[in-house]
A and B are shown apart, each in its own frame.
Chain A
Amino acid sequence: MPDLSRRRALTAAAALAGATALAVPAARASDPTHDHGASHGSHDSPAAFDEIYKGRRIQGRPSSGGGHHHGAGYTVSVDGVELHVMRNADGTWISVVSHYDPVSTPRAAARAAVDELQGARLLPFPASPAN
């Protein structure tokens, strides 16, 4: 999705979510203070979030050290299924469905995943030949 239309989609979703009291900020460009990411060092974890984005529940929260895989320290899910996310050294984030395209926060990574999934369900990782 072109950056402009993604930003428009995020803004629209923010308006929707605001109406359901799962308050979210507008697109990250217009609210640099809400999400924590690129501007923070790698030792503090972004805040938790919980919202409905494009009809799907996305959640994120700091996870206790170690985790079950390379100590990501932060867990994201889409409709309750964990989305594998990773923080880059510069504080940006990627997920397994958008692995070459860093965004500034885990919430942005969750939204990018919802955009990418186009309604498809996420499979629990690690990916393996599904039967």
Chain B
Amino acid sequence: MTVRKNQASLTADEKRRFVAAVLELKGSGRYDDFVTTHNAFILGDTDDGERTGHRSPSFLPWHRRFLLEFERALQSVDASVALPYWDWSTDRSPRSSLWAPDFLGGTGRSRDGQVMDGPFAASAGKWPVNVRVDGRTYLRRSLGTNVRELPTRAEVDSVLAMATYDMAPWNSASDGFRNHLEGWRGVNLHNRVHVWVGGQMATGVSPNDPVFWLHHAYIDRLWAEWQRRHPGSAYVPGGGTPNVVDLNETMKPWNDTTPAALLDHTPYYTFDA
């Protein structure tokens, strides 16, 4: 059974295996397919049109499935690997062990944002940025410069306290838990973390930075935490909503799974705590 652990508690061996599996997917070309898929949804999801991956109720189940696909790909390389999560409300500094050279590497240099250490630095030769929106082929970051602070635990709690999953108009203007977690409204959790990391993480091709998966694994864990706090609150809308994935409608690009089938994560993985 897959157990997703806090990245801060991984052993050196677990970090090494995770990194090796990610690099293996990159080398085989499978990694870049995930980046392409994500960017296609980022570009295609609009507030007044069809919306599936983002700015809509299915933001959470869509990313849950997307991460499951990626985790299964990692496990096809090394069956011991699980996706770790990054609790950015606790590990909120560029000096966190997350950014050490034995794991994801650190921030970019000031001149061009290029990451200079760790296994994903361009200089290590194994991480060409192929799916991109501009001419730069190296991984970039600027931790904490585009926005100074990561969300605090108090801000996370204020969003977890919202009892309604989502609300009409089911987009970036919505009130409710989903949109506050996504960050288009209110204290801004998920979006702000993308901006805080900077570089490719702030763009439509954000999965070019492996921290994408650790960020979304934590967003996913917050969804599970919210469900425990609000056992009477359900995924909405329940049916008949144009352009929006209702509870029992299938989601693109897989077309074989519904939000309803993804509400309970425990058939797929559990968390360390």
A interface list, Cβ under 8 A from B: 1-2, 42, 69-71, 84, 86-90, 96-102, 116-118, 120-123, 125-130
Contacts and interface: CB of A to CB of B under 8 A. Distances in A.
Contact of A121 (B39, B130, B134): B134
Interface residues of B, number: 41
A71 B204 CA distance: 18
A100 B134 contact: no
Interface in B75-107: none
Contact of B48 (A89, A118, A125, A127): A89
B134 A117 contact: yes
A2 B36 contact: no
Interface in B170-190: 171-173, 183-184, 190
B195 A100 contact: yes
B133 A127 contact: yes
A127 B131 contact: yes
A69 to B, nearest CB: 7
Most buried by A among B39, B183, B206: B39
Given A1-B146, A126-B40, A100 B133 contact: no
5 contacts: A70-B43, A88-B47, A125-B133, A126-B39, A129-B32
B194 interface: yes
B205 interface: yes
A84 B173 CA distance: 21
A97 B203 contact: yes
Contacts of A125: 43, 133
Contacts of A100: 183, 190-192, 194-195, 202
A100 B113 CA distance: 18
A116 B134 CA distance: 10
The 3 tightest CB contacts between A and B, nearest first, are A89-B173, A100-B191, A100-B194
A48 B96 CA distance: 45
A78 to B, nearest CB: 9
Given A118-B112, A130-B130, A89 B148 contact: no
Contacts of A70: 43-44, 46, 49
Contact of B169 (A89, A101, A122): A89
B135 A121 contact: yes
Given A70-B46, A88-B184, A126-B39, A99 B204 contact: yes
Contacts of B172: 88-90
B154 to A, nearest CB: 22
A86 B43 CA distance: 8
